[in-house]
Chain A
Amino acid sequence: MAHSVLNRLDARSKILLTVLGAIATIAFSTLGAQLVLFGVSFVMVLLINRPMLVFVLYLLMGAMMLLASACTWVMASFIPSLGEITFGSLVIPFLRGLTMMNCVMGMALTTKIEGIMSALTQLRLPFMLTLPATVMIRFISTFTNDVAQVWETLKIRGWEMGFVFFLRHPYLSTRLLFTPLLFRALKSSEALGVAAELKGLDRGLQQKGAMNFQGQSNFSKADAWLFLGASFTVVMATYIELHWIEWGLNVTRLGVM
């Protein structure tokens, strides 16, 4: 778990913040409002205190967005009825993705897994949601460790991985990085599933169990400040959504998804 000021926040606050982020990114559709959400969530992800990790995540997200843009462009070329694909029509969904990434990473890397599980249970969410959500969030830290080990192995083997190598051998680079990651991801997810079952999570976490874990954290002043900040952000985004519709890109409310 990253050492960060976000560790002081209660797990329930971070989960609620993530849910609020998800609702807000869907509800708002103007560039101004999305930029507000993105800006605030970006500050939050920087607070996890791992700037290089954030940088690499943004690079990966950027690559994914480029790929998505290319695919959309190809589709639009063959199916003209899709209409013209403009930067304006893509930027909002991309901002939504980035905001959500910021919120989820901020929560996943600064919260104990038992805290997340306990919080989900106390929020009275059904077990069929809490278990997969817990395992998915737990998977993030396993996966980041796997990435580190795979990268290390490439160095041990003598691969001089870098931008030039990637340009010269794009297929080989992709294979070297992603094949072991794919197999590790399969194995790790299976192992996490087994571990969850053996620990009795297949029967669900009862409120008594959740309280056992919850004993480790409680709402504090920091949580109050968080909710105040989140409320202010939503109010600001709402104001911009209603009054600055034409600001930035001329994006209509329905044509952005």
Chain B
Amino acid sequence: MIEFENVSYRYAFQSDCAVKDLSFKVDAGSVVLVTGASGCGKTTLMRIANGLCPHYYAGTLSGSVKINGVETKDSSVGELSQTVGTLFQDPEDQFFALGVKDEMGFALKVAGVNAKEVDARIQKVAQRLEMESLLSHSITALSEGQKQRVALGEILVALPKVLILDEPSANLDPEATERLAQELKNLKNQGFAILVVDHRIHWLRGIADQVLVMREGKICQRGDFELLTNDAVRCEYGLREADVKDVRKTLTQTQNEAPILEASNVSFDYEKNNQSGGFSRFKRIFKTPEKVSHRAELLKNISFSLGAGITALIGENGTGKTTLARLMTGLNEGSGTFYLKGKETKASDLLKHAGLVLQNADHQLQMQTVSEEIGACLFAVGQTSNLQARIDELMQTFDLTPLAQRHPQSLSGGQKQRLVIACALAKDPDILILDEPTSGLDGANMQRVARCLNDQAQKGKAILLITHDLELLQLCAQHALRMDELKKNF
């Protein structure tokens, strides 16, 4: 189904090839996993397979790439996409319509498939992926995990023969990842050829028939899944664990002695938020109001406390974890009372004492160099004495010193992530909240982030970690706040 033969690709205006001499096959009814450290050429490989290289991203392709026996050079991206379904790491990159149902049927309607048949196929896939309740939603109102499910559903609706999945588990909770694994097994049995590009590998045990490990644009190792159980191989190529323990149940409830933050009876509903004032009102100038749905009252009477150390906020996709973090920093307006070190504090004032790292790093980088970026954060909160020393200290902590003069937007995903965490710490907050900080990071970068968080916890910071990454939880989580327990009074 997918056949690469001595494939090399060089992007326009680049002197080096992004991938070199790749040869492999993905047969019908098989799953091939491609993994490797960030920047090893996985994304380019994926773009070659779906035709975006060279049809969209101009460059020079040598060798032969065949999908279903047809050279990709001789087909347009649109033609290829009728056979190949691609799931992007950031699902928003593949959405064109703004409603879930509209998006799922978009490509089929463009192809001229009858609207009734499109609707029937959407219902069938939605049922299979347990996402019927999402069909009436606006894309912008979904959580990242829900967006990923919609993107997968959209692909399956088109009935392709070949699937290319880029980090499909990056935003999914472990249960949803398990369901995805099951779905891949079913598709494999139905004769699909599936190419998965992922840093998280543990969930593909028993599913991947072949594993390709890439470095510097080349396939360096190939074999079955057992290859990844070899510690030396994983260490050499900066890979993640092949076996991961689920520590969520063993994490203790957050400790209550000397809490840094206490929240009492926090509630949030979308409808009220759409009508409230203050900062939310200004933000809504640009943002389309959230569509009110059955989720309107998302959180009700939530109470918890947060002490020093790393506390994981655990819950399924779409249960309100990010919303809770936003309430704790006054970005969303709800009701309830917050106490900072025992003193009642307005939600809108909590942001002065909290560092928040959101998922999209691109929005958070403004300056010309990494060093200036951290300096600007210090300046923003009025820290002007010993500025350079503090910048150097933060760069050293996050291993950013060699990148000090690089433009922040030119950094890799892992480097950007470390920089935004460093920026969040620049204001020396009492509370640090991180939303999926290791999504899309390779093993080495994930461990580096975990080490940084452990260091900060030892310094007495309260760290709230919103993550589905079981490896990260295993490495650094000390306590847990569970959304299902917090929502007991709902």
Interface, chain A (partner B; CB < 8 A): 1-3, 50, 52-53, 55-56, 112-114, 138, 141, 144-153, 155-159, 172, 175-176, 179-180, 183-184, 187, 191-203, 205-206, 208-209, 212-213, 215
Task: Taking A148-B286, A157-B427, A158-B381 as given, write out 18 further A-B residue pairs in contact, using a Cβ cutoff of 8 Å, ordered by the A residue number.
Answer: A53-B286, A113-B98, A114-B97, A141-B288, A144-B287, A145-B287, A149-B358, A149-B360, A151-B282, A155-B331, A157-B364, A158-B352, A158-B380, A176-B366, A179-B409, A183-B365, A202-B76, A202-B78
Nearest CB of chain A from residue B89's CB, rounded to whole Å: 12
Asked if B366 and A213 make an inter-chain contact with CB atoms under 8 angstroms apart, the answer reads no
Pick from A141, A150, A158, A175 the residue with the most CB of B within 10 Å: A158
Q: Complex: how many Å from CA A138 to CA B381?
A: 37
A200 and B285 contact, Cβ closer than 8 Å, known pairs A1-B98, A114-B102, A149-B360: no
In the A-B complex, the 3 residue pairs with the closest CB atoms: A200-B78, A148-B287, A208-B112
Q: Is the CB of B319 closer than 8 A to any CB of chain A?
A: no
- The stretch of B4-12, B19-27, B79-87, B175-183 in contact with A is B79-87
Asked if A183 and B362 make an inter-chain contact with CB atoms under 8 angstroms apart, the answer reads yes
* 28 A-B contact pairs sorted by A residue (CB < 8 Å): A2-B288, A112-B102, A144-B286, A145-B287, A146-B363, A147-B286, A148-B283, A153-B363, A155-B331, A155-B351, A156-B351, A156-B355, A157-B364, A175-B367, A176-B366, A192-B96, A193-B56, A195-B95, A197-B81, A198-B52, A198-B78, A198-B81, A199-B81, A199-B110, A202-B77, A208-B112, A209-B111, A212-B118
A191 and B52 contact, Cβ closer than 8 Å, known pairs A1-B288, A212-B115: no
Contacts of B242-283 to chain A: CB distance below 8 A: 279, 281-283
Q: Is the CB of B207 closer than 8 A to any CB of chain A?
A: no
Asked if B285 and A209 make an inter-chain contact with CB atoms under 8 angstroms apart, the answer reads no
Asked if A3 and B289 make an inter-chain contact with CB atoms under 8 angstroms apart, the answer reads yes
Q: Is the CB of B457 closer than 8 A to any CB of chain A?
A: no
Which residues of chain B have C-beta atoms less than 8 A from A158's C-beta?
Answer: 351-352, 377, 380-381, 427
Instruction: Considering the complex, give the chain B residue whose CB is closest to the CB of A195.
Output: B96
Which residues of chain A have C-beta atoms less than 8 A from B113's C-beta?
Answer: 212
A195 and B109 contact, Cβ closer than 8 Å, known pairs A145-B287, A180-B366: no
Which residues of chain B have C-beta atoms less than 8 A from A156's C-beta?
Answer: 329, 331, 351, 355-356, 358, 364, 424
Which residues of chain A have C-beta atoms less than 8 A from B377's C-beta?
Answer: 157-158
Contacts between the two chains (Cβ within 8 Å), count: 167
Asked if A203 and B380 make an inter-chain contact with CB atoms under 8 angstroms apart, the answer reads no
Asked if A198 and B86 make an inter-chain contact with CB atoms under 8 angstroms apart, the answer reads yes
Asked if A175 and B112 make an inter-chain contact with CB atoms under 8 angstroms apart, the answer reads no
A199 and B107 contact, Cβ closer than 8 Å, known pairs A146-B363, A156-B358, A176-B366: yes
Contact of B97 among A112, A151, A193, A203 (CB under 8 A): A112
Which residues of chain A have C-beta atoms less than 8 A from B367's C-beta?
Answer: 175, 179
Which residues of chain A have C-beta atoms less than 8 A from B365's C-beta?
Answer: 179-180, 183
Asked if B362 and A184 make an inter-chain contact with CB atoms under 8 angstroms apart, the answer reads yes
Instruction: Considering the complex, give the chain A residue whose CB is closest to the CB of B80.
Output: A198
Q: Is the CB of B124 closer than 8 A to any CB of chain A?
A: no
Contact of A187 among B98, B115, B362 (CB under 8 A): B362
Contact of B76 among A50, A203, A215 (CB under 8 A): A203
Contact of A53 among B82, B285, B381 (CB under 8 A): B285
Asked if B79 and A198 make an inter-chain contact with CB atoms under 8 angstroms apart, the answer reads no
Contact of B358 among A114, A141, A153 (CB under 8 A): A153
Which residues of chain A have C-beta atoms less than 8 A from B95's C-beta?
Answer: 195
Asked if A144 and B288 make an inter-chain contact with CB atoms under 8 angstroms apart, the answer reads yes
Nearest CB of chain B from residue A42's CB, rounded to whole Å: 18
Which residues of chain B have C-beta atoms less than 8 A from A56's C-beta?
Answer: 285-286
Pick from A179, A197, A203 the residue with the most CB of B within 10 Å: A197
**Size range of the chain B interface in the assembly:** 35 or more
Nearest CB of chain A from residue B440's CB, rounded to whole Å: 15
Q: Complex: how many Å from CA A22 to CA B106?
A: 30
Q: Is the CB of B93 closer than 8 A to any CB of chain A?
A: yes
Q: Complex: how many Å from CA A192 to CA B56?
A: 12
Asked if A155 and B360 make an inter-chain contact with CB atoms under 8 angstroms apart, the answer reads no
Q: Is the CB of B320 closer than 8 A to any CB of chain A?
A: no
Interface, chain B (partner A; CB < 8 A): 50, 52, 55-56, 76-79, 81-82, 86, 90, 92-99, 102, 106-107, 109-115, 118, 138, 140, 279, 281-289, 329, 331, 351-352, 355-356, 358, 360, 362-367, 376-377, 380-381, 409, 423-424, 427
Main secondary structure of the interface of A (DSSP, over half): helix
A180 and B50 contact, Cβ closer than 8 Å, known pairs A114-B109, A199-B96, A212-B112: no
Contact of B285 among A52, A187, A201, A213 (CB under 8 A): A52
Q: Complex: how many Å from CA A3 to CA B329?
A: 29
Q: Complex: how many Å from CA A53 to CA B423?
A: 30
Pick from A3, A147, A152, A196 the residue with the most CB of B within 10 Å: A152
Contact of A145 among B56, B109, B140, B329 (CB under 8 A): B140
Nearest CB of chain B from residue A210's CB, rounded to whole Å: 9
Which residues of chain B have C-beta atoms less than 8 A from A55's C-beta?
Answer: 285
Asked if B351 and A209 make an inter-chain contact with CB atoms under 8 angstroms apart, the answer reads no
Which residues of chain B have C-beta atoms less than 8 A from A138's C-beta?
Answer: 96
Pick from A172, A194, A198, A212 the residue with the most CB of B within 10 Å: A198
Nearest CB of chain B from residue A111's CB, rounded to whole Å: 10
Q: Complex: how many Å from CA A50 to CA B138?
A: 18
Asked if A157 and B380 make an inter-chain contact with CB atoms under 8 angstroms apart, the answer reads yes
Nearest CB of chain A from residue B273's CB, rounded to whole Å: 14
Instruction: Considering the complex, give the chain A residue whose CB is closest to the CB of B331.
Output: A152
Instruction: Considering the complex, give the chain B residue whose CB is closest to the CB of A156.
Output: B356
Asked if A209 and B110 make an inter-chain contact with CB atoms under 8 angstroms apart, the answer reads yes
Contact of B56 among A144, A194, A201 (CB under 8 A): A194
Asked if A201 and B366 make an inter-chain contact with CB atoms under 8 angstroms apart, the answer reads no
Q: Complex: how many Å from CA A251 to CA B289?
A: 43
Which residues of chain B have C-beta atoms less than 8 A from A50's C-beta?
Answer: 285
Nearest CB of chain A from residue B287's CB, rounded to whole Å: 4
Asked if A203 and B366 make an inter-chain contact with CB atoms under 8 angstroms apart, the answer reads no
Nearest CB of chain A from residue B328's CB, rounded to whole Å: 12
Asked if A197 and B331 make an inter-chain contact with CB atoms under 8 angstroms apart, the answer reads no
Q: Complex: how many Å from CA A179 to CA B362?
A: 10
Asked if A183 and B409 make an inter-chain contact with CB atoms under 8 angstroms apart, the answer reads yes
Which residues of chain A have C-beta atoms less than 8 A from B97's C-beta?
Answer: 112-114
Asked if B109 and A113 make an inter-chain contact with CB atoms under 8 angstroms apart, the answer reads no
Nearest CB of chain B from residue A98's CB, rounded to whole Å: 18
Contact of B93 among A152, A155, A191 (CB under 8 A): A191
Q: Complex: how many Å from CA A185 to CA B70?
A: 35
Which residues of chain B have C-beta atoms less than 8 A from A175's C-beta?
Answer: 366-367
A199 and B76 contact, Cβ closer than 8 Å, known pairs A112-B99, A155-B279, A156-B329: no
Which residues of chain A have C-beta atoms less than 8 A from B52's C-beta?
Answer: 194, 197-198
Asked if A141 and B351 make an inter-chain contact with CB atoms under 8 angstroms apart, the answer reads no
Which residues of chain A have C-beta atoms less than 8 A from B360's C-beta?
Answer: 149
Which residues of chain A have C-beta atoms less than 8 A from B380's C-beta?
Answer: 157-159
